[in-house]
Structure 1
Amino acid sequence: MRGLRALGGAPQRPVALGVVTALTAMDERQAARVCLYDDAQAVASAALKLLPIDPLEPVRWLLTVALMIDEVTREAVTITEPAALPASAAPLIEEWSLTHYLSKRRMFRA
């Protein structure tokens, strides 16, 4: 954790997830699964802020994609080349979250 604190401020999500998976001794499959669930819950959380929906609806979405997340996790840990990753949009989620975090203006209107 000292190394994480030494970075100053809030570390980027991939760094924080890497530290958590290392400290908890997760194997690569568990780490990939945590990352995918974190991506899915980020979308579900954003939907609650943007859409007039029942709060249980995003929970249903997450339960619905659970098997898909497990399947993608199994595929992802066998890949050795970045171009073969099954989630080509994941870097965009990272970029958008950083843009949103650093922005001083409102990003959405309700």
Structure 2
Amino acid sequence: METLPTILMLLAASVVSVIVFRSLDLPPVLGYLLVGTLIGPHAFDLVGGFAGAQHLAEFGVVFLMFSIGLEFSLPKLHAMKRIVFGLGLLQVLLVLAV
């Protein structure tokens, strides 16, 4: 698949998913994740032959981490410290046990 049509398809699908998810009062990030899952090589494989798909996926992860960082606040984390650190410790222990 050629580069420009692939990028335009990803962009169009992302725009549609954001519109749908905002109308459902859901975060747009969930729409991006859904589009990536459906278009990617593990579902419909629409961008499987695209050589730059790995690079776009890496940029997507970077932008996802950036958007999470924008909504991250230390006071909110401090208020939820028992839940966050308790579940984080539980996850680490479960992974180490398996």
> Please, what TM-score do these two structures have when normalized by structure 2?
0.32
Larger Rg: 2
> Please, what TM-score do these two structures have when normalized by structure 1?
0.29
Instruction: Give the structure, 1 or 2, with the largest relative contact order (CA under 8 Å, sep 6 or more).
Output: 1
